[in-house]
Amino acid sequence: MAFQCSATPGMRSASSMLRNTARPASPGRSSWTASFAEVGSRVSDLALALGTDLESWEINPLRVSGATVEALDAVVTGTPGAR
């Protein structure tokens, strides 16, 4: 994945979380939809945690292979100290 991220701790956290989006579904949840929902939930949680420091977030494309969903490219921009 390619990341463009500011140096703030919150933005470093954003890139770290995105690196961990590619994962198979949890045991007992074999469908790709469960994995896709998990990625969406994690992205939403991180956006809330970044608050007003988050200016924009683009993940495109997401690759789905079986039960694995992977962000192939992502750009996160922010305004450090906007809180």
The 3-state secondary structure of 10-63 reads HHHHHHHHHHCCCECCCCCCCCHHHHHHHHHHHHHHHHHHHHHHEEEEEECCEE
Token pair of 55 as six digits: 């200016």
Helix (H) or strand (E) holding 69: strand 68-71
In the DSSP assignment, the letter for residue 73 is B
**34-80: per-residue pLDDT in tens?**
888 888 888 888 888 888 889 998 989 888 888 788 888 888 888 87
**CA 36 to each of CA 8, 10, 27: distance values in angstroms, whole numbers, following the listed order:** 27, 23, 15
Question: pTM to 2 decimals?
Answer: 0.57
Residue 33: predicted pLDDT: 80
**6-37: per-residue pLDDT in tens?**
445 555 555 555 555 555 555 555 577 888 88
Residue 15: predicted pLDDT: 55
Token pair of 62 as six digits: 């997401």
